[in-house]
Amino acid sequence: MRSRILAIAQLAYPIVIAQLGSILQGWADTIMVGQYGTAELSAAGFVNNVFNLIIYFLLGISYATTPVVGGYFSRGEYDSVTQARRSSVLVNFLVSLFAIALLWILYLNVERLGQPTELMPLIKPYFIVLLCSLPFLAVFNALKQCFDATGDTKTPMWVMLGGNIVNIILNYLLIFGALGLPELGLVGAGVATLLSRVGMMAAILLYQVKKGKMKNEKFATALVRQRLSNHRGSKFFTFHSSLLPFFKSFRDAPRLLRLGIPISLQMCLEAGSFNVCALFMGWIGSIALAAHQVMCTVSTIGFMVYYGIGAAAAIRIAYFRGQEEWDEVRKTATTALFMSFASAIVIVTLICVFCHPLASIFTTSDEVATLFIAMLPAFVCYQAGDCMQTIYANSLRAIEDVKYLLISAIIAYAIISVPLAYIFAFPCQWGATGVWWSFPFGLTTAGLIFLWRFKRCTNNKPLVPFM
């Protein structure tokens, strides 16, 4: 087990660091926009909530890349890895254009969504700038998953951290007009996001080209062989061969979409359930909504750690699945679950011990801090379910069994979690804490269903004693 723990940890820590860096960058964005103006902060909150679901959808599409590329890589099919990477970039780019079309329709009707009229001059330009950034984000996601699938999680980490730093610096310069630059306010925050996403995509693409297929000599050999074959024979054959890479780009596209769409919808349902609960909090009052936001921010730290472990396990599982080593598939998932449980114990203990200082970081209101602390028991209770659903959702993606992800998400979030949040909060009159007590039921249900499905899919060979 020790070797598996080390292997997962080596892949996981760059993912966790990159995700935590993104969280810190988001906090910095909120602080700077909030310092610039309350109206700008409100407009940013509305637009970001709209885009968050689309970003989750795009992430889900890119997650399909890991099992496809990882499977080819484990079998040494490096030409197929090259084609799968090209397919992933193509699919993610086209899906981002589809997302832009949907958001453009929403943009044309944004004034009908009941937002304050005085916010429209702030919402519309910020909306447009973020819209322009989606294709760059989608292509970066595709390339990042390709690096991850071949075991290189450090390169995306450095690119993401660099992008976060650039974003923060540009935020300050463009929002407030420092160093002689124009003072753009909220639009400046959008431009900073756009430029950082363009930079991240360019950086990871340039690194890939410079280092010759993710620093793997066999990739370079495969490329040479492919280029030689494309320049062999008659002029007609040469012309025909030069078109083959383009047509082969579509080879894995149906497979990527078949895997990616259920993953995307599952992630959107999970994120959407939290958005609906935020709506319930708004009905209860501003104190409840503020405490909910603080609790969500703090709990995200734990989730990002579990996600990093789960994503690392998915890379290993996709590799072992490609080699038909099902015993290692099962043991890797179990090891990742133990690691996430251990991480949860540490994180929950620290949050509970330092709950008062944590509350004071995010709010100066005693009422908000008190309500935040009252939500902690529910937060503690759903950690086991969150660990299970995170690890086994990633494991199911790695073995390309994604149909039950969507079905389970509908059951856990739409049928159980959201209705219970309403019942606990209003008919039972538990208020804001009642909303949070629905999460243990939803997340644990999802985790148990994912666990059952994973066991059913992988227990097709005799088990070897876990060591």
Q: Tens digit of pLDDT for each residue in 352-386?
A: 998 888 888 777 778 888 988 999 999 999 999 99
Instruction: Read off the pLDDT of each residue in 442-466 and give the average, rounded to a whole number.
Output: 77
Q: Which of 461, 332, 465 is nearest to 392 (CA)?
A: 332
pLDDT at residue number 104: 92
Concatenate the DSSP letters of all residues of 139-157 into one string.
HHHHHHHHHHHTT--HHHH
303 confidence band (pLDDT: 50, 70, 90): confident
Single-letter code of the amino acid located at 148: D
Burial status of residue 400 (CB atoms within 10 A of its CB: 0-12, 13-18, 19 or more): middle
Distance, CA of 60 to CA of 141 (rounded, Å): 10
CA angle in degrees (0–180, nearest 5) for 425-267-352: 55
CA 107/CA 47 separation, integer angstroms: 10
Q: Is the dihedral of CA 162, 339, 343, 444 positive or negative?
A: positive
Sign of the alpha-carbon dihedral angle for 466, 339, 263, 153 = negative
Distance CA 294, CA 364 (A): 12
Distance CA 421, CA 30 (A): 27
Q: How many CA atoms within 13 Å lie on the side-chain side of 59?
A: 12
Mean pLDDT over each residue of the chain, to the nearest integer: 83
Annotate 180-205 with b (16+ C-beta within 10 A) or e (fewer).
eeeebbbbbbbbbbbbbbbbbbebbe
Q: Which regions of 121-202 does DSSP assign to beta strands (E)?
A: none
pLDDT tier at 246, thresholds 50, 70, 90: low
Report the C-alpha gap between 61 and 70 in whole angstroms: 16
244 pLDDT above the threshold of 70:
no
- pLDDT of residue 351 exceeding 50: yes
What tokens does 421 get?
């949040």
List helix spans (H) across 64-119.
65-74, 78-108
What does the pLDDT average to over 316-330? Answer: 87
Q: Is the pLDDT of residue 243 over 80?
A: no
pTM of the model: 0.81
Each residue's pLDDT tens digit, 380-407? 999 999 999 999 999 998 888 888 888 8
Looking at residues 423-451, what average pLDDT do you find?
92
More confident residue, 415 or 182: 415
Residue 463, pLDDT score: 41
Find the range with the poorest average confidence among 105-114, 227-236, 358-367.
227-236
Average pLDDT over residues 323-343: 91
CA distance 266 to 466: 31
What's the sign of the alpha-carbon dihedral 97, 101, 107, 110? negative
Residues 6+ apart with CB under 8 A from 120: 110, 111
